[in-house]
Each structure stands twice: as structure tokens, then as C-alpha cells.
Amino acid sequence: MEEIVTYVEMTALSELRASPPANGVTLERVDGTSPLIRSVQARIGEPYAWASASRSDDDWAEWLSHPLRQYWFIKYETEIAGIADFELQPGGEVEITTFGLLPEYVGRGLGGYALTLVVRQAWEVEPVGAESVWRIWLHTSTLDHPNALANYERRGFRPFRTRVKQREDRRCRTWDESAGLPVFDSGDPTFAERADEHKAFRVLPDDL
């Protein structure tokens, strides 16, 4: 699949344009050993072909062992509504490597305030190799939620780079070993076309 990747940045906390508060939305720090990190990221990322939706056990072990990565659950009241993680980088930079809401919380007006909380928290981390954090950055893609880039720009992020790349369609992510056929996700826009090529298929439940 072709995608356009846009990299955005913020170089001062004063550039943050905060969203109005959304009642019940908070952040909760979580240890990298929590098994929920993997399941939450996979559920969020599967519709958008995120790498986290198809990482192997070894890839996850490497990802979660990074000593300079922090994990935060986005909570709605008492429930997990999404996740964010930061990677602290040398020279006072912080990359937001993951930000997203679970499918059942998308479209409920929570994303703007959740991002506001995440950005504020990113500015408050202990910097690496610098006296203070001076830059927060992340990237998004045309395969992400259609409102993703607009949400980042509304919060004050500025694009500084774009590139076009090809990405494997990870939404076709497993096989029916007995039939030797792929298990397709009905949320994939090429679902019907590719299913016809194989002549036989089964559909994953929408909530997986």
C-alpha cells in the first residue's frame, strides 16, 4: 500500500493549543511489563496497518525493553480508552511513538483533549543529554484515521517533512492453516478485491 507520511513537531510548550477539557479523560502511567500494552496497541493499530498489530513476540520484547520509553494509558473514567508512548532521545527531544484511541472511543470527542494531556506530559519528562526538553515530534500517515493530522495541527504541531513510502498491508494478518487461506479483515478497503482472488475466505469479527 502507498502512504504519505507526515512528520510534525512542536518546539515550545507555549505552542500547544489546548483542547477544551473532556470530562473523565485522564492519563495513567503504566510499566512496560504490562501485557495490556500489547493488546491495546494491537486493537488500536489493526485498522490502520500499524506495525504493532503484527509484531512478533521477539519484536515486542525488544520494543518493551527500551530503557527510554514511557507508556501511558488514556483513561475514560475507569476504563482504558487508548494509549500513548514516548521515546526520550538524546539532546532533549521526545518522540511520541504511539498515540491512539480504541475503536469504541473514536468519534466521541475525546481525542483532542487526550492529545493535549499527552503533549503536556511529554514536555514534563526528564530529558536525555540536555537541561530541558526542547522538541516534541511524531509522524502520522494517510493510512491513519482521516482526522489524525488535523488533530495534531489543531494542537499546534507543524509539519516539517513528508515522504511517500510503501507499507505491507498487515490487516491480512493470519492464515487458516487447515485451508491454507488468509484470514482477511473486512475493514480492509481492498477486502472484496483480494477475497475474490482467493475465491474462499472467512472474515474476522469486527471487534478483534
Say whether 29 sits in a helix, a strand or coil. Answer: strand
All structural domains of the chain with their residue ranges? 2-166, 171-208
In order, the DSSP letters of 129-143 are SSSS--EEEEEEETT
The superfamily (CATH) of domain 2-166 is Gcn5-related N-acetyltransferase (GNAT) (3.40.630.30)
- pLDDT score recorded for residue 180: 33
- pLDDT score recorded for residue 170: 59
- pLDDT score recorded for residue 199: 28
At residue 101, what is the residue type? L
**Cα–Cα distance measured from residue 158 to residue 8, given in angstroms and rounded to the nearest whole number:** 5
Residue 42 burial class via C-beta count within 10 angstroms: exposed 0-12, middle 13-18, buried 19 and up: middle
- pLDDT score recorded for residue 51: 82
- pLDDT score recorded for residue 49: 85
At residue 157, what is the residue type? F
Q: Looking at the DSSP assignment, which residues form a beta bridge with residue 8?
A: 138, 159
The alpha carbon of residue 41 and the mean position of all alpha carbons in its chain are separated, in whole angstroms, by: 7
- pLDDT score recorded for residue 68: 95
Question: What tens digit of pLDDT does each residue of 77-113 get?
Answer: 999 999 999 999 999 999 999 999 999 999 999 999 9
User: Alpha helices of 124-190 — where are they, by DSSP H?
Assistant: 148-154
Say whether 78 sits in a helix, a strand or coil. Answer: coil
- pLDDT score recorded for residue 40: 95
- pLDDT score recorded for residue 171: 54
Question: What tens digit of pLDDT does each residue of 37-46 get?
Answer: 999 999 999 8
Q: Nine-digit cell at 171?
A: 490487516
Weakly modelled stretches of the chain, pLDDT under 50: 172-173, 175-208
- pLDDT score recorded for residue 186: 39
